[in-house]
A and B are shown apart, each in its own frame.
Chain A
Amino acid sequence: MPDRVFTELQRDALQEIANLGMGQAATRLSGLLNAFIELSVPRVRVVAVSEAAEALREMTGIDGPVAAVRQGFRSEIKGEALVICRSGEIAELGSLVGGRAGDHDEDPYEDHDALTEEELLFDVANALTGACVSSMLDQLGRMPVFSQPGLLGEAIMLDEVFQPGLLAWDVALLVEVNFALEDQRFRAHLVMLMAEESIHVVSRAIDALLHSL
């Protein structure tokens, strides 16, 4: 049912927009991290929020506990981006994204330049969200403003990430892309969630884009 939100033509266009956006994002992230970045071909799906956890389990292949960070973005198109990775894997990124992850027991004041593991998680999530969401919305002619990232949990199940009762919308546009670094086991998954209202704006923006071609 929800997939009827877009026509086939719109779906193809959206896929293309996502591809272009992620291409740009990968270039920018590679520049920042000084490493080769692989961003998967994004998978775009419209799902009911009640099915989101299941859809995501299927898309990511993750069944166990995850660390999840959420971040809001707003423009005429607004929504939330989630960055999800397997619990505990973030520490493996220590040497990238600037500096090592500080030991938890260390006094954070002692070494101002070291990152705590949580800070590292936020930085990775923020960079990924910023690059991907901005790039994709840029294709649609929108420039989003982001809110501060917030931790949903360090070890929670996907079902806990999407609690239908707590979310303000019924339908979600899932744009799943996974992010991998050269020679690293670490994988992060980015999911963009948009409310129905914003999905309609996206749909109109796609039409405008198609018209202008």
Chain B
Amino acid sequence: MNAPAGLPSLSDLVVERVGFGIFVVDRDMNVLMWNRFMQDHSGVPADDVIGRPIFERFPDLPRAWLTRKVESVFQLGSFAFSSWEQRPYLFQFDHDRPITGGVDYMQQDCTFMPLMRGRDVIAVCVTLSDVTHVSVMQREREEAVARLREYADRDGLTGIANRRYFEARLADEFSRWQRYGGELSMLLFDLDHFKRINDEFGHMAGDTVLRSMAQRVSGVVRKQDLFGRFGGEEFALLLPCTPLDDALYVAEKIRRTIGDEPIEVQGVIVPVTASVGAASARTGAPDYEGMINEADAALYTAKRQGRNRSVALA
């Protein structure tokens, strides 16, 4: 549409006000056009940059990369692109989420368009869109997935590993032991007379005891060990590179950690003790489940012998 002489055309007005960056360069990278978005975000007005090589005012631009990109459009006569996923930004522009964004500069998608006269490319138009929100959303989604994955491995009440995750790790450690040898042990332990605590003080108190004990034990296990809740008041501890003797030593340490100091629940002092069964991987054992069964049998023996003790069969 033609505008009256001296007035900008409608397309000029659109280019001026549109919400993404538009600029045009020739084959020598001289700027031919520079819209308002580019001016506002770079602080460089059109008059300062038009007619000059773009690198003069923007020395931080990836020079070889950008030149190559533009040259490819001239040579091929077709579009070229750049996505924030591979190259987060072309220009170091601020974005409008300085607080909540968590990214340094405005994330940008760029399109390099050939401007044709007949079959000749006379210039390249670059459009630049602000996709910071997309990148922020994507990061949030990735974080949410990571959190979900984390929750999937955790026991809801105590926050330690759940049985599914514990068994998966035990299976891994067991295969490693089968292939490379070494030592591998585990403990199964159970809070004594837990049903009585529940009956006497209520389930809420019971939950508090479970949480506190899980926390206490977490504080004494080594970094390479995995502590998990096996179900109910039963817990398990995976001890890689640990022979049975040392496992029994750890068992005693855990038993004392639980039993030496009673716990206070709603103003009432509740004594809690634990029985522990230990087992280790042995030559000829077909699978990790055998280890769990053996630890379970040892735990049963500890209970039968009067509770508040550690037992290893073998």
Q: Does B3 contact A (CB under 8 A)?
A: no
Give the Cβ gap from A107 to chain B, nearest Cβ, in Å.
11
Q: Tell me which residues across on chain B come within 8 A of A99, comparing CB atoms.
A: 64-65, 68
Within 8 A of A (CB), among B64-78: 64-65, 68, 71-72, 75-78
The answer on a CB contact under 8 Å between A130 and B78 is yes
How many A-B pairs have beta carbons closer than 8 Å: the answer is 67
Q: Tell me which residues across on chain B come within 8 A of A122, comparing CB atoms.
A: 81, 83, 86
Q: Please judge, given known A-B contacts A29-B76, A98-B64, A113-B65, whether A126 and B87 are in contact too, CB under 8 Å.
A: no
Interface range, A side: 20 to 34
Task: Tell me which of A127, A129, A146 contacts B72 (CB under 8 A).
Answer: A127
A119 CA / B68 CA spacing, docked (Å): 13
Q: Does A32 contact B (CB under 8 A)?
A: yes
Which secondary structure dominates chain A's binding surface? helix
Selected A-B contacts with CB under 8 Å, 15 pairs? A28-B75, A98-B64, A98-B68, A113-B62, A113-B63, A116-B86, A126-B79, A126-B80, A126-B81, A134-B78, A146-B78, A146-B79, A148-B83, A148-B109, A148-B111
Q: Does A41 contact B (CB under 8 A)?
A: no
Q: Does A154 contact B (CB under 8 A)?
A: no
Q: Tell me which residues across on chain B come within 8 A of A131, comparing CB atoms.
A: 76, 78
A79 CA / B86 CA spacing, docked (Å): 25
Q: Tell me which residues across on chain A come within 8 A of B220, comparing CB atoms.
A: none
Q: Does B152 contact A (CB under 8 A)?
A: no
Give the Cβ gap from B259 to chain A, nearest Cβ, in Å.
49
A149 CA / B116 CA spacing, docked (Å): 22
Task: Tell me which of B72, B79, B81, B85 contacts A32 (CB under 8 A).
Answer: B72
The answer on a CB contact under 8 Å between A32 and B75 is yes
